[in-house]
Amino acid sequence: MSILVDERTRVVVQGITGREGAFHTKQMLEYGTVVAAGVTPGKGGREVEGVPVFNTIKQAVEEEGVNVSCIFVPPPFAADAIIDSASAGLEVIVCITEGIPVLDMVKVASLLKNEKSVLIGPNCPGIISPGKTKVGIMPGPIHKPGPMAVISRSGTLTYEVVYQLTGTGLGQSTCIGIGGDPLIGTTFIDHLKRFKEDPETEGVVLIGEIGGTAEEEAADYIREEFNKPVIAFIAGQTAPPGRRMGHAGAIISGGQGKAEDKINALQAAGIRVALNLGTLGETVQKVMEKS
């Protein structure tokens, strides 16, 4: 099984006529994703890689039965794209766009409280259920089906971890990049709850980084309610206070968000923390063999 997306997923790409949207639409199609429609206002009636383009999400839903969106819309317009997808009732919204103004995301967060849509991102690589579908920009060939879930704040670290897992023979059930911005749609805990109920997910790799308290909160949840093995890695262990590490959310401020604090919280919850990224795959393999 997988969570949120599978071979039945029908994707609409918002911003499909742009360079990034068109490129990744092709990559998703080649992986086997059912990209059923694209949306670019004012460009309806065109095709991109054989995918019909509509002016609105509502049209794409009515004509092609799409249920998941993937957003490649420029930052000033991306929040409106998320709102359009949520208002159209799409089940999952994956926002790849980086640099959306925080105030725009505050409006999005307020609206999503009253909608059924699950937002992944923004500023994320997306979600992939290996062998079934990918919605986003992840390199498909490094993934393979299997029992390990991956939840990560970092896109590039997700790829490295998946590469190591596949190299040790451990495939993945679903891999999710939740995004590195200060305000994102879903958290570690949101997806841990889903993986807890997925019978084919046997363990979880959690990739965190400095900034915020998401990892500490996840550690509390895992200690109290999660009954599957979790292996973690925290990026930015040598980062000084006040230094931003790639993501807007990855900054130590107000005495919070240090890697040491996150590692301590995870270890206190009984979670195996790999301190060396290069050996993470081997660490996961050892933990899963003992479980």
CATH superfamily membership of 139-290: Succinyl-CoA synthetase domains (3.40.50.261)
Q: Which residues of the chain have pLDDT under 70?
A: 1, 238-256
Strands, E, within 185-277: which ranges?
203-209, 230-235, 272-273
Comparing CA positions, the residue from 192, 262, 187, 265 lying closest to residue 227 is 192
- For residue 193, the SS3 value is helix
Q: Measured between alpha carbons, how far is residue 134 from residues 130, 152, 242 in Å?
A: 7, 16, 35
Angle between helices 214-225 and 259-268 (to 10 degrees): 0
* Torsion, Cα of 179, 185, 187, 189 (10° steps): -150
Amino acid 155: pLDDT: 86
> Would you kindly state where each structural domain of the chain is located, as residue ranges?
10-120, 139-290
Q: Are 25 and 49 in contact (CB under 8 A)?
A: yes
Check if 10-120 and 139-290 are the same fold. Answer: yes
**71/82 Cα distance (integer angstroms):** 8
**188/198 Cα distance (integer angstroms):** 15
Catalytic positions are 247
Q: Note the CATH number of domain 10-120.
A: 3.40.50.720
What is the reported pTM? Answer: 0.93
Amino acid 255: pLDDT: 47
Amino acid 278: pLDDT: 92
Amino acid 25: pLDDT: 98
Amino acid 254: pLDDT: 46
Q: Measured between alpha carbons, how far is residue 159 from residues 30, 63, 141, 277 in Å?
A: 18, 35, 11, 12
